[in-house]
């Protein structure tokens, strides 16, 4: 009880906005910066790239996804990977600051269709890190976001990563696809649990989609009938 009261007290302490440095901000980013930098935009339904303004409202997918549909039923994101969110993500992943997970999950739940997707899902699965990277970082950034979306639905042991891949950001698109090929598999003794299930696959950033697509393919092969990817930020090119 004392810890709960103390946590609520801390959450109400005015703090400095990480973006504009304004005081007070009851959170890591103030409402003014969220309003300015997290406006929803029209995105491709299956890869979350921003659709050009001039395109008809009837067009739901980008040309690349129409030609070659990804192994996702839907892909949702909160923001574009650009200032100030790219700096916030760097602090989250490389600055030993897991507290950002709550803010990212809050912004995701405020994004179109995300809260509905969370409610409709049977399982929420984070993209797993390799053992080496998990030991180096100390936490899986995707898992921390999952916990804030729905702790009761989160399952961090169902999808396994057994290939210690190179860092995706340093590779070209074709290299990324090759890098994560066969990197993921469903825990063999638990594969039946995916039969007919709706899965929410979560990561912090989506660039080419190679990692998410490889993870989704493993879930689909094990019997998941619907896979929605949810990422906090999406780059505007792949």
Query: Is-contact 232 145, C-beta < 8 A?
Result: yes
Does residue 145 have a pLDDT over 90?
yes
Regarding beta strands 226-234 and 159-161, do their DSSP bridges make them parallel or antiparallel, or are they unpaired? unpaired
pLDDT digits (tens, 9 = 90+) for 186-200: 999 999 999 999 999
Length in residues, the chain: 238
**Residue that wins the pLDDT comparison between 69 and 132:** 69
To the nearest whole number, what is the mean pLDDT of the chain?
87
Looking at residue 162, its pLDDT comes to: 79
**Residue that wins the pLDDT comparison between 11 and 81:** 81
Domain at 40-234, CATH class: alpha beta
Enclosing H/E stretch for 67: helix 63-67
**Residue that wins the pLDDT comparison between 53 and 176:** 53
Looking at residue 55, its pLDDT comes to: 58
Q: Token pair for residue 20? A: 């504009």
E strands in 62-178: 74-80, 123-126, 159-161
As beta bridge partners, residue 231 has: 77, 203
pLDDT digits (tens, 9 = 90+) for 15-36: 889 999 998 777 899 999 999 9
Domain map (residue ranges) of the chain = 1-37, 40-234
pTM of the model: 0.86
Query: Is-contact 38 66, C-beta < 8 A?
Result: no
Query: Is-contact 155 174, C-beta < 8 A?
Result: no
Looking at residue 163, its pLDDT comes to: 64
Looking at residue 44, its pLDDT comes to: 96
Query: Is-contact 83 40, C-beta < 8 A?
Result: no
As beta bridge partners, residue 206 has: 234
Does residue 6 have a pLDDT over 90?
no
Does residue 181 have a pLDDT over 80?
no
Using a 10 angstrom Cβ sphere, with 0-12 exposed, 13-18 middle and 19 or more buried, the burial of residue 168 is middle
Residue 130: HSE in the Cβ half-sphere, 13 Å Cα cutoff: 13
The stretch 62-90 carries a mean pLDDT of: 96
Q: Token pair for residue 136? A: 């180096």
35: Cβ contacts below 8 Å, ≥ 6 apart: none
Does residue 112 have a pLDDT over 60?
yes
Residue (of 238, 237, 210, 235) closest to 85 by Cα position: 235
């Amino acid at each position: 009880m004392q810890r709960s009261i103390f946590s609520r007290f801390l959450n109400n302490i005015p703090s400095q906005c990480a973006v504009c440095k304004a005081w007070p901000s009851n959170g890591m980013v103030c409402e003014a910066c969220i309003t300015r930098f997290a406006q929803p935009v029209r995105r491709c339904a299956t890869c979350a790239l921003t659709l050009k303004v001039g395109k008809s409202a009837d067009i739901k997918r980008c040309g690349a996804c129409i030609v070659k549909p990804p192994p996702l039923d839907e892909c949702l994101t909160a923001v574009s990977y650009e200032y100030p969110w790219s700096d916030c993500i760097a602090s989250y992943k490389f600055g030993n600051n897991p507290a950002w997970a709550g803010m990212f999950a809050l912004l995701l739940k405020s994004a179109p269709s995300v809260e509905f997707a969370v409610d409709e899902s049977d399982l929420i699965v984070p993209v797993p890190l390799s053992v080496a990277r998990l030991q180096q970082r100390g936490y899986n950034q995707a898992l921390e976001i999952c916990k804030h979306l729905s702790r009761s639905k989160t399952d961090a042991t169902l999808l396994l990563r057994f290939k210690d891949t190179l860092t995706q950001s340093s590779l070209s698109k074709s290299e990324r696809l090759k890098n994560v090929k066969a990197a993921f598999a469903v825990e063999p003794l638990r594969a039946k649990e995916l039969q007919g299930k709706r899965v929410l696959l979560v990561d912090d950033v989506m660039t080419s989609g190679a990692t998410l697509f490889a993870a989704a393919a493993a879930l689909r092969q094990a019997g998941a009938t619907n896979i929605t990817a949810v990422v906090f930020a999406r780059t505007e090119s792949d």
